[in-house]
Amino acid sequence: MSALVSLTPALAPAATSVGNPTLNIAIFLVFVVITLAIVIKVASGNKGAAEYYAGGRAFTGRQNGIAIAGDYLSAASFLGIAGAIALNGYDGFLYSIGFLVAWLVALLLVAELLRNVGKYTMADVLSFRLRQRPVRIAAAISTLAVSFFYLLAQMAGAGGLVALLLGIESAAGQRVVVAAVGIVMIFYVIYGGMKGTTWVQIIKAVLLIVGAGLMFVWVLAKFGLNLSTLIGAANETTASDLGKARDLTQPGLQYKNPIDFISLSMALVLGTAGLPHVLMRFYTVPTSREARRSVVWAIWLIGLFYLFTLVLGFGAAQMLGPSEIKNAPGAANSAAPLLAFELGGEIFLGIISGVAFATILAVVAGLTITASASLSHDVYNTIVKDGNATPEEEVKVARISALVLGAVAIVGGIFAMGQNIAFLVALAFAIAASANLPTILYSLFWKRFNTRGALWSIYGGLLSAITLIIFSPVVSGKAVDPVTGKSPSMLQGVDFHLFPLDNPGIISIPLGFILGYIGTVTSKEYNAAKYAEMEVRSLTGVGAEAATHH
Amino acid sequence: MSNDAPASAAEDRYAEVQNSAEFEELRTKFRKFVFPMTIAFLAWYFLYVLLSVFAKDFMGTRVVGDITWGLILGLGQFVSTFAITMYYARWADREFDPRAEALAQKMGGHHR
């Protein structure tokens, strides 16, 4: 799935591009020009902090729901899941189920209450009734950690696409393209703020869902609109390609270890409601009712999209076969674009790859604005300025942060090329579920909860998740894949893995909850007045931040 | 700002509302809906996951053509997610919102 080829793209074997690189670039540029024009148009008068961080809280539930789909349906969903299903069938399908069911946690327990309590960032809610400084710092650190892994995943997708679609085989050339993508994204965020970012996400969500829907119908039509026929044909291609039977409907092709499968499932289903860039989107609507509408729209769009990817994955397995996918630059991540080429030739490939680039651009913009908001609102304002920064100062610092984070994303993207992005995103989910979700839920629902509980839970969840990842087989020590001749681990030729699982969730998520509990019961601190305010606000909406204009 | 210590009068007001019978009813109503529902969908999801790892033969059994139990139950997760979403949205619009709004009105609405 991943390979060191990523780190030395110039040495990649058979890095031939597919389709017409000029056409691919042209279609992508059309998207960039249109979105830039829209960002410039909506950004006029984009002044105050509520405008910059929350788009003036003036989006409707439907608009925000589409934008959430645009934010959430990342390159991992489109490229990663389609690739995982193409190679591992049923085990890849599990990703999409976890990613979807997870939205019910956000819908039932988090979205509306968070909208009523918070202002700009996740830390607003986490620190509401606890001691501000330590909890805000902890929440900001975990926001940055989750956003960083997520960002890396997106940029890895960009790198793979560059190699595949633009015919740029030299490492230098790829870096230029990744840097160009990063610069456009930085412009969206700095100039357009949340409003500009939201519109980019809306446009991208529509293009992505329509594009995937088109491929879905196309693939199904080739197989008499019969999923069973498609799966049967995919199994035949896979068997003849590999020279041995490999039934894609069977569980366990990717996850040999049952505990690993369970661990991943936990991270997926509990991670979404702890993703800071998802949570921040709930502040862009005027009321908790609109926040609910947003999630309802998002669930329908995201669910529909994952149904499409199921068919795309089997379609790619049937029309391409595992060897072609694994040996393509970008490996599993290339399954969907290669399928588009098989279906509709270079023009359709150009459109789909334009959509994939747009996807990466929009998600990276969403992550960057979230991380920059946290740096400015949580770190700069609370720690540097003791809560006395003016909105103008905050926005200025947020813009500078976005610039720095954009640069980090560009550098990260260059190093992360070729990693399987669905897997990188799964790690971000594990951290979010371990470090953020326990504190969010305790904070909203557990009267007794206090500062020590929050700090133990956030730092304990974060550190255990990251430590377990470092010593997991994902980083080192997996056996060499005979098809590609490389180890699927991140590092080749070394083995320091101590933890047997790919995903840390099964240990780190319960640990986050347990530490939150133990920390709380061993500390006497408790702020009854702030809890009263938080609970009354969260359920009734009294005192919730209002839209800046109507 | 959410962090500013509110005037103590406002603080008392929140505590007073928090202890009122109406608010307790609202909280109970909310929790009685969302907690069991959360447990239900998580149980159904993990049942599916556990079947996928510990009952591979069953999940891999073909039902119609190449469609297996695993695929059918997986698509069932989609159906249940859509159904719970719509059920909750209806419940919240009809049962929860009017009560929450009444209480908010009583407190002086969005009093900022």
Q: Is position B23 within any domain?
A: yes
CB pair distance less than 8 Å for A269 and B17: no
Residues from chain A contacting residue B66 (CB–CB below 8 Å): 228-229, 231-232, 235, 249
Q: Is position A538 within any domain?
A: no
CB pair distance less than 8 Å for B18 and A536: yes
A426, A501 in Cβ contact below 8 A? Answer: no
CB pair distance less than 8 Å for A533 and B37: no
**ipTM associated with this complex:** 0.90
Of the candidates A118, A150, A152, A148, the one whose C-alpha atom is nearest the C-alpha of residue A136 is: A118
Say yes or no: B24 contacts chain A, CB-CB below 8 A. no
Q: Is position A496 within any domain?
A: no
Say yes or no: B11 contacts chain A, CB-CB below 8 A. yes
B1 falls in which pLDDT band (50, 70, 90)?
very low
A420, A2 in Cβ contact below 8 A? Answer: yes
Token pair recorded at residue A70: 């645009």
Q: Is position A532 within any domain?
A: no
Expressed as residue numbers, the domain containing B14 is 9-106
What whole-number distance in Å separates Cα of residue A163 and Cα of residue A165? 6
Of the candidates A23, A5, A22, the one whose C-alpha atom is nearest the C-alpha of residue A330 is: A5
List beta partners, residue B67: B64
Number of structural domains in chain A: 1
Residues from chain A contacting residue B68 (CB–CB below 8 Å): 90, 249-250
Residue A325 confidence (pLDDT): 86
Percent of chain B with pLDDT over 90: 72
Q: Is position A252 within any domain?
A: yes
Residue A420 confidence (pLDDT): 63
Task: Report the residue of chain B nearest A119, measured CA to CA.
Answer: B2
What whole-number distance in Å separates Cα of residue A101 and Cα of residue A262? 15
The pLDDT tens digits of the residues spanning A211-220 come to 999 999 999 9
Q: Is position B4 within any domain?
A: no
Nearest-CA distance from A264 to chain B in Å? 10
Residues from chain A contacting residue B79 (CB–CB below 8 Å): none
Number of structural domains in chain B: 1
Say yes or no: B78 contacts chain A, CB-CB below 8 A. yes
Expressed as residue numbers, the domain containing A40 is 8-422
Residue A103 confidence (pLDDT): 97
Stretches in chain A below the pLDDT threshold 70 = 1-18, 44-46, 76, 160, 163, 167, 169, 330, 417-423, 549-550
Question: What is the full DSSP assignment across A55-75?
Answer: GGG---HHHHHHHHHHHHS-H
Residue B112 confidence (pLDDT): 39
Residue A419 confidence (pLDDT): 65
Say yes or no: B76 contacts chain A, CB-CB below 8 A. no
Q: Tell me which of A11 and B64 has the higher pLDDT.
A: B64
Least CB–CB distance from A539: residue in B2, B30, B110 = B30
User: B5 pLDDT exceeds 80?
Assistant: no
Nearest-CA distance from A251 to chain B in Å? 6
The pLDDT tens digits of the residues spanning A489-541 come to 777 788 888 898 888 999 999 999 999 999 999 999 988 889 999 999 999 98
What whole-number distance in Å separates Cα of residue A531 and Cα of residue A545? 18
Q: Is position A345 within any domain?
A: yes
A101, A108 in Cβ contact below 8 A? Answer: no
Residue A166 confidence (pLDDT): 72
What whole-number distance in Å separates Cα of residue A536 and Cα of residue B90? 22
Q: Is position A139 within any domain?
A: yes
List beta partners, residue A481: A486
Residue B16 CA to its chain's centroid (Å): 26
Residues from chain A contacting residue B88 (CB–CB below 8 Å): 107-108
Q: Is position B1 within any domain?
A: no
Token pair recorded at residue A463: 């550190």
CB pair distance less than 8 Å for A533 and B103: no
Nearest-CA distance from A297 to chain B in Å? 10
Task: Report the residue of chain A nearest B106, measured CA to CA.
Answer: A542
Residue A44 confidence (pLDDT): 62
Selected for mutation to probe chain B from A270, A533, A548 (highest B CB count within 10 Å) is: A533
Say yes or no: B66 contacts chain A, CB-CB below 8 A. yes
Whether the pTM exceeds 0.80: the reply is yes
CB pair distance less than 8 Å for A303 and B78: yes
Residue A273 confidence (pLDDT): 95
Residue A4 confidence (pLDDT): 31
Q: Is position A217 within any domain?
A: yes
Task: Report the residue of chain B nearest A533, measured CA to CA.
Answer: B14
What whole-number distance in Å separates Cα of residue A114 and Cα of residue A282? 8
In this complex, how many residue pairs, one in chain A and one in chain B, have their CB atoms less than 8 Å apart? 176
CATH number at residue A386: 1.20.1730.10
Nearest-CA distance from B33 to chain A in Å? 9
Q: Is position B111 within any domain?
A: no
Say yes or no: B62 contacts chain A, CB-CB below 8 A. yes
